[in-house]
Structure 1
Amino acid sequence: MLVLIVLLVEELGIKELLPAYLDPNLQPSELATGVCFAAGGAGYDPFTSLTSSTISISDQVDLFKEYIRKLEEEVGVNRTNFILANSLFLSVFGSNDISNTYFSSPLRQVQYDFPAYTDFLITLASNFLKEIYELGARRIGVFSVPPLGCLPSQRTIAGGIERKCVAMYNEAAELFNRKLSKELNSLNKNFQNSRIVYIDVYNPLLDIIVNYQKYGYKVGDKGCCGTGIIEVVELCNRFVPTCPNDLEYVFWDSFHPTETVYRKLISSILQKYVNKFV
């Protein structure tokens, strides 16, 4: 869903490209108009980032603290506080925790049943949001987990010969999403002058996947890259064949939607949620 955020920033007219905070070519003048701290493969659960060898959520918060110090040097403390209070913060975590850490690794299954694991994740999510609130964030959009059971990779792993949507994975995502939405409502009541918004991508994406032909797609259960059933990220490269026309596909690889699907989700988000941050 990181791509979704980058495209959303573009659609809002904030920036043509949201730069990574760790980009060595990032200019100090760009700090005031937004940067990205995200790392692919990260999660609320520290074990998720550890197994993916990526930047953890706590390390991302540390980078945010460093960013604030640099921004203060660039524009001053008062202007920095104004920017933080009026900026839109977007948070996308959870999918890797559920699909990669819980269902694909025995460690967490030994420690928790799934309802208990979602409680663990919600506590971590709440702590993260409290921390960035204390650092000055006031308008925060938190994305739901998508319908994980209908992703091509999960269909391949657990969907049987027919590669059907995995009901158990979708039910797990729905349980987490319900708890996340409830927690955000609670935080909104306790965080003064805050706008913390639950952004549902589960239902609009599920509708596109299930009714893909209605949306003009020809393939809804495989990605455009390679075989479309298991390749993800690095395995989709210039040496791997891709489909002739990605406009016909819901998914680019076996985990991530194509750009046209992301843009449909953005349209839905703009219609439903933008006014809630005002």
Structure 2
Amino acid sequence: MIDAHIHLDQYEDALLPSLLQNLPEQQIEALIAVSMNLTSSMRTRDIAARYPGRVKPAYGFHPEQPLPSEEELTALLDWIEQHAGEMTAVGEIGLPYYSRAEALERGEAWDMAPYIALLDKLLALAARLDKPVVLHAVYEDAWTVCDLLDKHGITRAHFHWFKGPAATVDRMIRRGYSISFTPDILYEQEIQELARRYPPELVMAETDGPWPFEGPFAGRVTHPAMVHEAAAAWGALHGYAIDRAKAVLTANTVRFYQLKL
């Protein structure tokens, strides 16, 4: 299988060899490794160079952090363009739903305009480079992101660990956008309901590692091989045998990211 979304740069250096060297024995063929900012993108690139063919790098700016300065953004955009040939996707990019919610809960003001402007520039770059995008966009933010995708004519959009209202889900399905499920599909009813509804041909499996999970995964370091359990749970919701579920999700990921394995 393929882990369609993981933050390898967020793992400790000492853990990476044990995480990545044994992937063939874990029946994991490749990983889509996303990035947080320029420093993170550089580290992701270095990791991918150490594990060629296995780690497929994506470069971007995660929205759940302070905005970059103009100089920092220019440096990131220039760097991404310079390394576009080795890049699988632009990501992780999106809008800061959780940071905004926490700020509003503290009674602080929040201006979304600069975050939307940042995403607009990153999507413009992805469109110019003809690269798919990996999106952090949940709940009401996803509708705004759909508007921006329409603006830039981007059709290869991957909303990772998505949650959102029915109207947004319907719009995403009509556009043919992809989503991915993490191991929380084993124990989150909201995620299971979305999994039943979303077309199987538009679905992938991810871990979002090193993010930790609950339920049967409590206390375990998040490992790419957990996508096997996510796939089995997703397949059960559709009445698929485990092998068929894994095959469908893997084929979807290969097709979406145009991977050469």
Structure exhibiting the larger radius of gyration computed from Cα positions: 1
Tell me the TM-score range normalised by the shorter chain.
0.3 to 0.5
Q: More strand by proportion, 1 or 2?
A: 2
Instruction: Please give the TM-score of this superposition, normalised by the length of structure 2.
Output: 0.42
Q: More helix by proportion, 1 or 2?
A: 1
